[in-house]
Chains A and B, each alone.
Chain A
Amino acid sequence: MTKRTLLYLIVCVCFLPGMAWERKGVTFSGSIQSDMLVPFRDNGTGAEKTGNFLTNTYADLLMQSQYINAGARLEFLEYPLPGFEKDFKGWGVPHFWMNGRVGKVELTAGTFYEQFGSGFILRTYEERSLGIDNSLLGARVVVKPFKGITIKALSGVQRRYWEWNESLISGADAEIGLGEYIPSFQKSGTNITLGGSWVNKYEWSEEKIYISPLYRLRIPKFVNAWDARINFSHGPWNVLGEYAQKSDDPSLANQYIYKKGSAVMLTGSYSGKSLSVLLQAKRSENMSFKSTNEVSKAIGISSSINHLPAFTQDQTYALAALYPYATQLADGEWAYQAEVGYNFKRKTWLGGRYGMNLKANLSYVRAIDRQFYDGNDLVQKTNGYTSKFFKWGDQTYYRSIDATLTRKFSKAFKLSLMYVNQRYNQLAVEGHGGMVHSNIFIADGKCQFSPKVTLRCELQYLTTKQDQGDWAYGLLELSLAPHWMVTVSDMWNCGETKLHYYQGLVTYNIRQHRIQAGYGRTRAGYNCSGGVCRYVPASTGFTISYNYSF
């Protein structure tokens, strides 16, 4: 894309908001997100002054019409926030696409995101907080020939920061909803969806990989993966079974072994008026699937073609999220999750005048059995290991038991109490330390003094004998509707370091604008979303965050 085109897009993004127009069936919309930091050196936390002014800024522009949609995103990451790889730095318009619909056919050209099934063999997505954008640049066609049938086919190269990896990702997916064809299913509110996918990676760049000083590996040019799934739903009940397999894919992540990867998942849920239940089990093995074998690019969380959902809670409270779990894609895992939620009705003995909600979650992630060949034969070593399907490995990776009780005591006061018991294998997830056992207690109270004034208070305490010991956390958030919000918080390591991670923020909302300014410390640690984690170093400084949508 030329600089002139780029400038034109920037002008469009800056001036269209003022116009906010919709004319002759063409609608323009978009958004701006800018997170800024003026960092300071902080000897207490070890935070470095990594620049004078850092920002991750994104501007999206979308044009929609009856037949054609188009979009582009300007990203300015020339001075990125701390914690991203060196290659993350840069700026430009890496996301641009056009999409046309004619009858039952939809065609997309440019960059696009896609997911087949649960994402076991293909999931391209954007997660800005982690610096993930693994979109494909190419073409995709989606055909819906008959009711309940969707067929997709795509091909493209994958984005890795400011370049495209030297491999072609191609794939196809088909789904059929039998409910559309069986009248008795329709009458009873039942549906069965069958799905199947296939993905192929063809890598034309060749990295020479030496398994020993005298032998290098012949790396397959093609890697194939397939997925089959069935989803059954009937009223409040839903059951999903999915299986995926990947062909030999020796890579840095699996230490260059020639072994098929696989993932199998069974999920069942019930969602009633008062009661909801979720039960999940998953076994995965050797499922790291990247679009490059070039070591310098394959390291870290970039270039992933697939994604395995984490069967652990994505915690939102600061101390409950202190030790987050990252899915072990290459090593594999057995993961289980059970969740029960119950709404106690209003005006009952337990529900009280305003009702009460109880939620409990159990997550358990365990290593799979892996028996490695321990001889000296190099060929045997490339086979990796043998594994009994149902047998667990020695290590527990993660276990969490939590319960949350939320009750509204009056029109003005609502309280949530949470308890979490966690076991976190720091060695498996972070590569150092051991098993961290912790108990976390959280109280979150919200008091509405008037229709415009609300005060929220969080008190949290984490107790552990491992790692850095105990932590305490307090937060006060005053909302002055409709424009203002003031937040102060402090996270204190009362165990080993005695450090305070304080933060003060002021937020102002007006129409579609939201601006937040503050000062504070952020601790070094892992930032995770959906089982994918990035290490973020400590930082101290002034922060400004601006969001706008039109």
Chain B
Amino acid sequence: MMLTACDHIAEDERLIYEAMITDMSPDNGQEEDEAEVTKRVVLLEDFTGQNCTNCPKATEIIEQLQEACGDVLVAVSLHGGPLSFAGSARAVGLKTATADEYYNYWHFEYQPIGLVNRHGAVDYQMWATAVKEELTKPTPLRLEGSAVLADNVITIQMNATGIKGNTTGKLQVWLLEDGIKAVQRMPEGPANQEYIHNHVFRTAVNGTWGEDFSISEGETKQQTMTQAFDTRWNSNKLSIVAFVYNDSGVQQVAKFEVKV
């Protein structure tokens, strides 16, 4: 009797409200721990493709998440894998060899799929769950930066501050572009020739897997790097994503616009 009684959940009981971001600041007057206060920014790597019919659904999830999370979520669309499109004489393709290499490295088996702070493959229907979990974790460092485009060169200035323990890993810097109009297969109906692709991965500024990075608690580091501007990019829609990762996943992320 009990087995059959519990299999139905009434419509008004299906949803449980849980805010995406909970206020983590102490309210008892105690001094705040900087590691507790520094926001953990979450990196969502969306492995997508213009031939992937379900990928627009994943993009919708990203939009919802960005609306709920604000700047503590950084999403990157990596066009790689079997459903990505390299382009043709008539159509713009967003596939890159680097994104393809990432796709193969992670041994994904279908698309859309993603990584949330690099803890393994996460189906797009589970991104909200994974992002929520990552947001609750503290971060060991603060990461900031700025970027300027001048004379066809993008100059990127990175600032990192260690706030808890010692962190070693890799610093990875990527260039993204928003607002690209290019064809996209849709879940239903014909392909959309006017589809707007956002946060599209364009290139890895400091190599496919980044460069060695380490920082101690209290230490501050600055680093400058450059990236040649490709005239196929829209200079007004570029941004930089920088993150530090190691075997324990992504430790911190920063995103900032490329100023012209």
Q: Are B16 and A218 in contact (CB under 8 A)?
A: yes
CB-defined contacts of A215 to chain B, threshold 8 Å: 15-18
CB-defined contacts of B7 to chain A, threshold 8 Å: 220, 222-224, 247-248
Q: Are B8 and A248 in contact (CB under 8 A)?
A: yes
**Residue from B51, B69, B129 having most chain A Cβ neighbours under 10 A:** B129
CB B170 to nearest CB in A, in angstroms, measures 23
Q: How large is the interface on A (under 10, 10 to 19, 20 to 34, 35 or more residues)?
A: 35 or more
Q: Are A213 and B14 in contact (CB under 8 A)?
A: no
Q: Are A213 and B65 in contact (CB under 8 A)?
A: yes
Task: Map CB proximity to B onto A311-328 as digits: 1 under 8 Å, 0 otherwise.
Answer: 000000000000000000
Task: Map CB proximity to B onto A196-224 as digits: 1 under 8 Å, 0 otherwise.
Answer: 00001010000111111111111011111
**Residue from B16, B67, B69, B120 having most chain A Cβ neighbours under 10 A:** B16
Residues of A in contact with B (beta carbons under 8 Å apart): 85-86, 170, 200, 202, 207-218, 220-224, 247-248, 252, 255-256, 258, 295-296, 299-300, 378-379, 382-383, 427, 431-432, 535
Task: Assess whether B13 is interfacial by the CB under 8 Å rule.
Answer: yes
CB B189 to nearest CB in A, in angstroms, measures 10
**Residue from B12, B69, B126 having most chain A Cβ neighbours under 10 A:** B126
User: Which of the residues A220, A300, A379 comes within 8 Å of B8, measured between beta carbons?
Assistant: A220
CB-defined contacts of B126 to chain A, threshold 8 Å: 209-210, 252, 295
CB-defined contacts of A224 to chain B, threshold 8 Å: 3-4, 7
Compute how far the CA of A216 lies from the CA of B128 in the bound complex, rounded to whole angstroms.
Answer: 9
CB-defined contacts of A258 to chain B, threshold 8 Å: 9, 11, 14
Task: Map CB proximity to A onto B98-131 as digits: 1 under 8 Å, 0 otherwise.
Answer: 0000000001011100000000111101101101
Asked, given contacts A218-B14, A220-B8, A224-B4, whether A212 binds B109 with beta carbons under 8 Å apart, the answer is no
CB B62 to nearest CB in A, in angstroms, measures 11
CB-defined contacts of B111 to chain A, threshold 8 Å: 431
Task: Map CB proximity to A onto B72-89 as digits: 1 under 8 Å, 0 otherwise.
Answer: 000000000011000000
CB-defined contacts of A432 to chain B, threshold 8 Å: 51-53, 82-83
Task: Assess whether B54 is interfacial by the CB under 8 Å rule.
Answer: yes
CB B42 to nearest CB in A, in angstroms, measures 12
Compute how far the CA of A512 lies from the CA of B17 in the bound complex, rounded to whole angstroms.
Answer: 64
Compute how far the CA of A166 lies from the CA of B113 in the bound complex, rounded to whole angstroms.
Answer: 24
User: Which of the residues B3, B67, B122 comes within 8 Å of A213, measured between beta carbons?
Assistant: B67
User: Which of the residues B3, B17, B65, B123 comes within 8 Å of A295, measured between beta carbons?
Assistant: B123
Task: Assess whether B19 is interfacial by the CB under 8 Å rule.
Answer: yes
Task: Assess whether B206 is interfacial by the CB under 8 Å rule.
Answer: no
User: Which of the residues B3, B54, B110, B125 comes within 8 Å of A202, measured between beta carbons?
Assistant: B3
Compute how far the CA of A299 lies from the CA of B126 in the bound complex, rounded to whole angstroms.
Answer: 12
A-B contacts, 23 listed (Cβ < 8 Å): A170-B3, A208-B129, A208-B132, A212-B64, A212-B128, A213-B68, A213-B69, A214-B18, A214-B20, A214-B68, A215-B16, A216-B18, A216-B129, A217-B14, A220-B8, A221-B6, A222-B4, A224-B3, A252-B123, A252-B126, A382-B11, A431-B54, A431-B110
User: Which of the residues B3, B9, B15 comes within 8 Å of A216, measured between beta carbons?
Assistant: B15
CB-defined contacts of A382 to chain B, threshold 8 Å: 11, 14-15
User: Which of the residues A85, A86, A208, A218 comes within 8 Å of B15, measured between beta carbons?
Assistant: A218
Asked, given contacts A212-B128, A216-B129, whether A222 binds B6 with beta carbons under 8 Å apart, the answer is yes
CB-defined contacts of A200 to chain B, threshold 8 Å: 3-4
Q: Are A431 and B13 in contact (CB under 8 A)?
A: no
- Closest A residue to B51 using CB positions: A432
Known: A222-B7, A431-B52, A432-B82. 11 other contacts (CB 8 A): A86-B107, A213-B65, A217-B15, A218-B14, A218-B16, A220-B6, A220-B9, A248-B7, A252-B125, A256-B125, A299-B110
CB-defined contacts of A213 to chain B, threshold 8 Å: 20, 64-65, 67-69, 128, 131-132
List 7 A-B pairs, minimum CB-CB distance, nearest first: A213-B68, A210-B128, A247-B7, A215-B15, A222-B7, A213-B20, A222-B6
CB-defined contacts of B122 to chain A, threshold 8 Å: 295
CB B133 to nearest CB in A, in angstroms, measures 8
- Closest B residue to A395 using CB positions: B188
CB B136 to nearest CB in A, in angstroms, measures 12
Task: Map CB proximity to A onto B1-39 as digits: 1 under 8 Å, 0 otherwise.
Answer: 001101111011111111110000000000000000000
CB-defined contacts of A247 to chain B, threshold 8 Å: 7-8
Q: Are B110 and A383 in contact (CB under 8 A)?
A: no
Q: Are A379 and B6 in contact (CB under 8 A)?
A: no
Q: Are B125 and A214 in contact (CB under 8 A)?
A: no
CB-defined contacts of A431 to chain B, threshold 8 Å: 52-54, 83, 110-111
CB-defined contacts of A295 to chain B, threshold 8 Å: 122-123, 125-126
Q: Are B53 and A427 in contact (CB under 8 A)?
A: yes
Compute how far the CA of A456 lies from the CA of B109 in the bound complex, rounded to whole angstroms.
Answer: 38
Compute how far the CA of A224 lies from the CA of B51 in the bound complex, rounded to whole angstroms.
Answer: 38
Compute how far the CA of A294 lies from the CA of B63 in the bound complex, rounded to whole angstroms.
Answer: 24
CB-defined contacts of A427 to chain B, threshold 8 Å: 53
Compute how far the CA of A514 lies from the CA of B83 in the bound complex, rounded to whole angstroms.
Answer: 41
CB-defined contacts of B14 to chain A, threshold 8 Å: 217-218, 258, 379, 382
Q: Are B16 and A209 in contact (CB under 8 A)?
A: no
CB-defined contacts of A296 to chain B, threshold 8 Å: 120-121
- Closest B residue to A246 using CB positions: B7
